Homo-oligomer: A and B are copies of this chain.
């Protein structure tokens, strides 16, 4: 799968909720090649920040050749991005990583996102052909970015940290409360959520695919900055250390030691 370095153009930048922004980028080749669960590395225009920021693809429009990213402002890079006006040029590398493997057919898939792990679930939900349900965890009712858009793809169950909307608690609580059944989970979100899902799926004998995060430098597998412990010796590292940017970010939960 080819990786492109491109100068993408900001088509729009919209604030979705407090600190959460949505940028649509016009690309040359990236949109054509990308699949759900992959990410791009976004370079900052300010040159004191030298490393690109990994951001998941939230939507991929192959006709318009655009991609959409949704991100939370947490530091200098994302705060820079949040200020981009339409027509700003942004250097990006992508598509990166493996993405979700949709070749296996499941009876029902739970598409699960937590917090800023929700964005990639939108494109994923669009691409899953079979039966699916969506479970998302937000901080609170007024933080529910992308909710309406997800609802267009499937039934959506919500958990909120403060109980201000639907289930009070985690996505696991929402699954239990709504008695959701499925044979596979595809998820992205904070580590505690992924750990809980891994355990839940193991107990309930469900397949579980999770997207991991780690600090990255190269984004393409050369620096060994972004590894995660794996059960098996992987072909590349020989030391149970798979590269999240290359062998991941999506892993079969059974294969990683998180």
Interface, chain A (partner B; CB < 8 A):
46-48
Contact = CB atoms under 8 A, between A and B. Distances in A.
A47 B47 CA distance: 7
Counting every copy of the chain, the complex holds 2
A87 to B, nearest CB: 11
Contacts of A48: 46-48
A48 B46 CA distance: 7
A122 to B, nearest CB: 34
Contacts of A46: 46-48
Contacts of A47: 46-48
A46 B46 CA distance: 5
A47 B46 CA distance: 6
A119 B47 CA distance: 30
4 closest Cβ contacts across the A-B interface?
Answer: A47-B48, A48-B48, A46-B47, A46-B46
A46 B48 CA distance: 7
A7 to B, nearest CB: 15
A54 to B, nearest CB: 22
6 contacts: A46-B46, A46-B47, A46-B48, A47-B47, A47-B48, A48-B48
A48 B49 CA distance: 8
A77 to B, nearest CB: 12
A89 to B, nearest CB: 12
Nearest to A76: B47
A137 B52 CA distance: 47
A187 B176 CA distance: 83
